[in-house]
Structure 1
Amino acid sequence: MKSLLFFMLGLAMVACSPRKAGNVNSESDELTMLVGTYTDGNSKGIYTFRFNQATGMATALSSIEVPNPSYLIPSEDGKFIYAVSEMNDTTAALNAFSFDKETGQLRLLNRQPTMGADPCYVSTNGKEVLTANYSGGSMSIFPLKKDGSLEPADTLFEGSTGGPDAGRQATPHVHCAVFSPDGKYIFATDFSADRILRFVMHPKSIIPHPSAEAIEVDSNSGPRHLTFSPNGKYAYLISELSGNITAFSYLDGKLEKIQTIAADTLRARGSADIHLSPDGKYLYASNRLKGDGIAIFEVNPETGMLAKAGYQLTGIHPRNFIITPNGKYLLAACRDSHVIQVFQRDPITGLLSDTHQDIKVDKPVCVQFVK
């Protein structure tokens, strides 16, 4: 009944149109949502939904078969989707799709090998697409064609080792690669060497910075995901092994450490994802393996430093989560509970409350919105 009612209400709403992050269509609160999964169970691949960021309710739209699309990202205009196929062999690939935001339908344009096993992260600036290849220990760079399809990878940067964990840092692992807010740099987490790699963007190529190629982080930390504040002045790193968040000030390619604070007090060595609320007032980080949940921090607007505000337990293995553009909901992809949990955010305290409007998907591991 709920799905039918939501569908009927949706027919009366004006369809959502392209808009920048943080803006909400005045005539509709509906977003198109994409979910990436692991396909070693019952999942087919990528699933699409209509999500209402006023009510927190979702309606299924479409799906497409893709092997292990564990991370995906839309283009800024929402016309294209780039999704990895996280495979531990030469079939590891990046897939490009055209996307219809109204119907939720995806159409494969092409795919290119990542030249590195287990690609687990993807980002784009509209001209290139980056993948972080975890087991391959590398970052691949794919030029984009005008039709949104992918050229073959033309650059491959390799990570290194040096961390003390003999079991998890013995071989190179690169876990994420992101563009800086100013568009001048790329930062990649060199998991096994306990450092962040910095690359300079040039008109025709991307090369390592000659004088400040790496930013060292604490030993035995296993840097995983990096995110920037909405105003571009700060960056926050979640480290998988230490369970710590490292806060940095950011200016013209330089990351200066200002704080380290624990997100995982149980030391489970399974911290995963990190995001800021759209207004930049709160930061959230997910933990797995013990006390699965999301740590909540208040952000000092003057200094960028963090103060612990609370902790929200979730389903099992919250590998990824996302916050709606209006800041009202946080959606946690709980891989081993086979649900995406929908939490409502308190804009004053930053705390979360479970709406019990779970979205059932087999092994969900990535959630993205197209606005």
Structure 2
Amino acid sequence: MKNILAALLFLATFSCAEKSNIENETSMKYNFLVGSYTDSPEEGIGLLTFNPEDQEIAYKVIAPGVSNPSFVLESGEFVFSVEENDKGALKSFRWNEEKTQLFQIDSIFSKGANPCHIAAKDGLLVVSNYSGGNFSIYRLAPKGQLEYLQSIQHTGNSINEARQESAHVHSANFSPDGRFLLVADLGTDHIYTYQIDRNNSEPVRLLSQTAMTPGDGPRHLAFSPNGDEVYVVQELTATLEVFAFQDGNLISQQRLSLLEPDFEGAVGAAEVRVSKNGKFIYASNRGDANTISVFAKTEEGKFETVQHISSGGNMPRNFSLTYDEKYLLVAHQASEDVVVFERNIENGILTPTSIQVSAPKPVYLFSLEN
């Protein structure tokens, strides 16, 4: 009897160890949705898979026929994409059982030209229309259908006549608590704060607006994990601006350059990401720079520059951390590739690798949880 029990215990232990090893191997594989600009019906939303253990990375189209899906995200069981063109559309998709293909559920007019950003939270979706200078709100039905609720038009301009001749809504983000919506308008040099009432048929109303430094061109923003700070990447001046955020109010705390002191040339700051612990901020810069900048939070609560590093390609419009934050992947629109950096979790520093893959004009990466 003792021998039987010992054998059973050995088998159980071996089984658990084997299962643990399998789980560890699985955890080292990463998947990303890839948004892009398209040139043919065969192109569309892509899926990037990355296995660092074998140094394997691959790209394939999983939703062909979507025109310029420049921004994609997964929320719950559904995937959403824009079609960035003059007509402008928001689309919803479902996965097949193996999560290797997407099938369209619904498509709806974005109520403005060239939608370029989507945010989703608690059954609401917000689409930012860059050329339209407005944003639109939708409600998500249980089966993935989209119900239009509201559009808000911005007006105004700023000092850069080539880029700020009119309103250009570039992104909208929900606060972590879901009470507010912050909208970055590159054309008017303002961040607009809207209050959210989900019980209202028109759920957002303007609460306040915060002026940026003239000519900044606010593009994307990110909240700190606890929601008390907001980090804005200013496209036209290649600046990262840190704001305190409380009850819908923004107060500037710091302005940090994405440039080396001796840099000369064109700039085009694009994306900002925050580590899960809130200690590190990452930002990309295009133009003649083509860099990723890393900022670390000091014990005094301020951020300091720790690295400006070549992005490894041309026009790093977007980048993303893996879900465990061990790697950072950069999508290059002009050189049409995605490159991989290792990330030091302790100090935030990025180290280039030789791992990269070709992809048609990739402009957005959305990290999928395994």
> Shorter-chain TM-score: what band?
0.7 to 0.9
Question: Which secondary structure does the structure 2 equivalent of 1:275 belong to?
Answer: strand
Question: Which secondary structure does the structure 1 equivalent of 2:334 belong to?
Answer: helix
1:295 and 1:198 mapped to 2: Cα distance? Answer: 27
Question: Which secondary structure does the structure 2 equivalent of 1:336 belong to?
Answer: coil
Write the letter of the residue equivalent to 1:229.
Answer: S
User: Contact 1:43–1:362 at 8 Å: present in 2 too?
Assistant: no
Change (3 A) 1:82 1:251: same
Change (3 A) 1:51 1:254: same
Structure 2 residue 96 is matched with structure 1 residue 97: no
Question: Which secondary structure does the structure 2 equivalent of 1:311 belong to?
Answer: strand
| TM-superposition CA deviations, 1:201-222 (whole Å, max 9, x none) | 102232323xx42011111100
Identify which range, 119-128 or 343-352, moves more after superposition.
Answer: 343-352
What residue number does 2:303 align with? 306
Residue correspondence of structure 1 range 30-109 to structure 2 within 5 A = 30-40=29-39, 44-52=43-51, 57-60=56-59, 62-65=61-64, 66-75=66-75, 77=76, 79-87=77-85, 89-90=86-87, 92-100=88-96, 102-109=98-105
2:330 and 2:213 mapped to 1: Cα distance? Answer: 28
Residue correspondence of structure 1 range 324-343 to structure 2 within 5 A = 324-343=322-341
Q: 1:176 aligned to 171, 175, 198, which one?
A: 171
Change (3 A) 1:25 1:33: farther
TM-score by length of 1: 0.86
Change (3 A) 1:101 1:169: farther
Q: 1:198 aligned to 193, 196, 219, which one?
A: 193
Superposition deviation, residue 62 in structure 1: 5.0
Residue correspondence of structure 1 range 232-311 to structure 2 within 5 A = 232-265=227-260, 266=263, 268-300=266-298, 302-303=300-301, 305-311=302-308
Change (3 A) 1:101 1:219: farther
Write the letter of the residue equivalent to 2:68.
Answer: N
Larger gyration radius, structure 1 or structure 2: 2
What residue number does 2:109 align with? 113
| Amino-acid identity (%) | 32
Unaligned runs of 5+ in 2: 1-17
| TM-superposition CA deviations, 1:285-322 (whole Å, max 9, x none) | 1001112111111123652x210101110210000110
Superposition deviation, residue 159 in structure 1: 1.9
User: Contact 2:59–2:358 at 8 Å: present in 1 too?
Assistant: no
Q: 1:348 aligned to 346, 349, 352, which one?
A: 346
User: Contact 2:326–2:345 at 8 Å: present in 1 too?
Assistant: yes
Question: Which secondary structure does the structure 2 equivalent of 1:135 belong to?
Answer: coil
What residue number does 2:8 align with? none
1:247 and 1:105 mapped to 2: Cα distance? Answer: 39
Change (3 A) 1:163 1:43: farther
What residue number does 2:356 align with? 358
Write the letter of the residue equivalent to 1:119.
Answer: P
| TM-superposition CA deviations, 1:231-274 (whole Å, max 9, x none) | 22211000111111110112232222111111135462411101
| TM-superposition CA deviations, 1:5-55 (whole Å, max 9, x none) | xxxxxxx989x9xxxxxxx98963333321111003797011113334666
Question: Which secondary structure does the structure 2 equivalent of 1:357 belong to?
Answer: strand
Change (3 A) 1:156 1:301: farther
Q: 1:130 aligned to 114, 117, 126, which one?
A: 126
Change (3 A) 1:178 1:363: same
2:98 and 2:299 mapped to 1: Cα distance? Answer: 37
Change (3 A) 1:364 1:51: same
What residue number does 2:183 align with? 188
Unaligned runs of 5+ in 1: 1-11, 17-23
Write the letter of the residue equivalent to 2:305.
Answer: K
Tell me how large the CA RMSD over aligned residues is: 2.3
| TM-superposition CA deviations, 1:144-201 (whole Å, max 9, x none) | 11112212x3211112223111111002100000100110010100111111011111
User: Contact 1:54–1:328 at 8 Å: present in 2 too?
Assistant: no
Change (3 A) 1:55 1:254: farther
Question: Which secondary structure does the structure 2 equivalent of 1:327 belong to?
Answer: coil
What residue number does 2:208 align with? 213
Structure 2 residue 319 is matched with structure 1 residue 321: yes
What residue number does 1:20 align with? none
2:195 and 2:82 mapped to 1: Cα distance? Answer: 24
Superposition deviation, residue 101 in structure 1: 7.3
Write the letter of the residue equivalent to 1:34.
Answer: L
Identify which range, 153-162 or 311-320, moves more after superposition.
Answer: 153-162
Question: Which secondary structure does the structure 1 equivalent of 2:146 belong to?
Answer: coil
User: Contact 1:53–1:326 at 8 Å: present in 2 too?
Assistant: no
Superposition deviation, residue 342 in structure 1: 0.7
2:97 and 2:216 mapped to 1: Cα distance? Answer: 39
User: Contact 1:13–1:28 at 8 Å: present in 2 too?
Assistant: no
